[in-house]
Amino acid sequence: MSKKTVSYFYSPDVGNFHYGPGHPMKPHRLSVIHSLVMNYGLYKKMQIYRPYRASAHDMCRFHSDDYIDFLQRVTPQNLQTYTKYLSHFNVGDDCPVFEGLFDFCSMYTGASLEGAMKLNHNSCDIAVNWSGGLHHAKKFEASGFCYVNDIVIAVLELLKYHARVLYIDIDVHHGDGVQEAFYLTDRVMTVSFHKYGNYFFPGTGDMYEIGAESGRYYSVNVPLKEGIDDASYVQVFKPVIQYVMEFFQPTAIVLQCGADSLANDRLGCFSLSTKGHGECVRFVRDLNVPLLTVGGGGYTLRNVARCWTYETSLLIDEQISNELPYTEYLEYFAPDFTLHPDAVTRQENANSKQYLEWIVKHVYDNLKMIQHSPSVQMHDIPADTLASTDHDQDEDNADPDVRISQLDEDRRIEPASEFFDGDKDQDKNEDSNEI
């Protein structure tokens, strides 16, 4: 299998935001992940982009004008002025107002939006934005630590060029915001694997939520019980996705890789290892469909960093060492300092083989109700959201006295045979005639 072209989107500032003391959502995890990606040398095999920042206009393609206007205006300093709006927009404890809130939303949303554009123009096979994946945000309000639904906005961009877009969600929480946005259409199929029952947030995602009107049977939910392990998860994930591909035949996929489905997550209750979680990513990668990969939940920072670093290596099809490289955050990974620590969990797997087989059969029976994959009549393709991106402007304004600009350095992908790392840097490869 030929290696795919991967575009990786990262803003150096996105990890500096802080939801507040004691809040489980830590944007700082993004800085830790990026440090691992750099120190493993994975950046050499990808196109690295400092992403576009989404405007209020971009966000209003899905969200209401008054909600986005509120996000732009509210700050911790003027909170008293907007007190009456907080409950209206569901902003408060779970979704606090913090310094730079709109900038944070602009960064993670812009990265997903630009990733969708790169896929639309065949500039890459896979786009990666670990800062995105905030799947709970609704049209009129924040929800579940999510303010702007970057996934919905990216899918809308993909729909300009793609007749059918598949959304897959492996977060421990149901992808309710994305499902709700596309519940009535047959051009987007949403597939969510999540914990359901016992009032687990957000309380939606029953297997009988299947879509409505034109979208009937285009919402697929796989409600799971606590403690599911790698073997059980793969037992249900692979056949469901195979059936979805067979019946829906998407031309683009968005994969939300929420890492709160890992064992020992602060808010989750599943028992997946990084390898089990990664197997889902590998499986979707091998479908050979243009793929936008985004982050999502994940509240035990060291495990999120391990997981998404490993999955970055899978997306570029590079093997990396189990021993973590030295980074400024190495002490976070004590005492083992490994990429794949033993997943020790005291959570018993409540998902029987029979229960999982029943779910797969239910999904299959519903998908059979789709007579054929929906067609889309010919139409003019709307203008791109970013008529002139920052990258284009950078090229226009490039310093003629600099041989390799920062932009060129970011985009550079080094061939596998370019050099040896470490002590063998100048040595001849004994297995070939290369010097």
Partners of residue 47 on adjacent β-strands:
7
pLDDT confidence of residue 388: 43
Whether the per-residue pLDDT at 143 is higher than 70: the answer is yes
Q: Annotated active-site positions, please?
A: 136
Q: CATH fold of 6-394, please?
A: Arginase; Chain A (3.40.800)
Distances (CA, A) of 255 to 127, 135, 304: 10, 11, 16
| Tokens (6 digits) for 211 | 């879509």
pLDDT confidence of residue 243: 97
Spatial separation of the C-alpha atoms in residues 322 and 54, rounded to whole Å = 36
H helices of 316-401, where?
A: 353-367, 390-396
Whether the per-residue pLDDT at 27 is higher than 90: the answer is yes
Gyration radius from the chain CA atoms? 22
Region 6-12 average pLDDT:
97
Q: Are 15 and 27 in contact (CB under 8 A)?
A: yes
Amino acid at 345: T
| Tokens (6 digits) for 47 | 């196109």
The mean of the pLDDT values for the chain is 91
Residue 306: CB partners within 8 Å, gap ≥ 6? 36, 274, 333, 339, 340, 341
Share of the chain above pLDDT 90, in %: 83
Question: How many residues are listed for the chain in this entry?
Answer: 435
| Tokens (6 digits) for 32 | 């830790």
pLDDT bucket at 398, cuts 50 / 70 / 90: low
Whether the per-residue pLDDT at 331 is higher than 70: the answer is yes
pLDDT confidence of residue 3: 81
> Strands, E, within 225-284: which ranges?
252-256
Give kind and range of the element (H or E) at residue 292: strand 291-294
What pLDDT, in 10s, does the model give residues 291-318?
Answer: 999 999 999 999 999 999 999 999 999 9
Q: Which residue has the higher pLDDT, 184 or 435?
A: 184
Spatial separation of the C-alpha atoms in residues 374 and 204, rounded to whole Å = 26
Q: Is 220 helix (H, G, I), strand (E, B) or coil?
A: strand
Whether the per-residue pLDDT at 391 is higher than 70: the answer is no
pLDDT bucket at 432, cuts 50 / 70 / 90: very low
Binding residues for a divalent metal cation: 171, 173, 260
pLDDT confidence of residue 381: 74
pLDDT bucket at 347, cuts 50 / 70 / 90: confident
Binding residues for substrate: 94, 144, 299
**Beta carbons within 10 angstroms of residue 397's beta carbon:** 8
Whether the per-residue pLDDT at 128 is higher than 60: the answer is yes
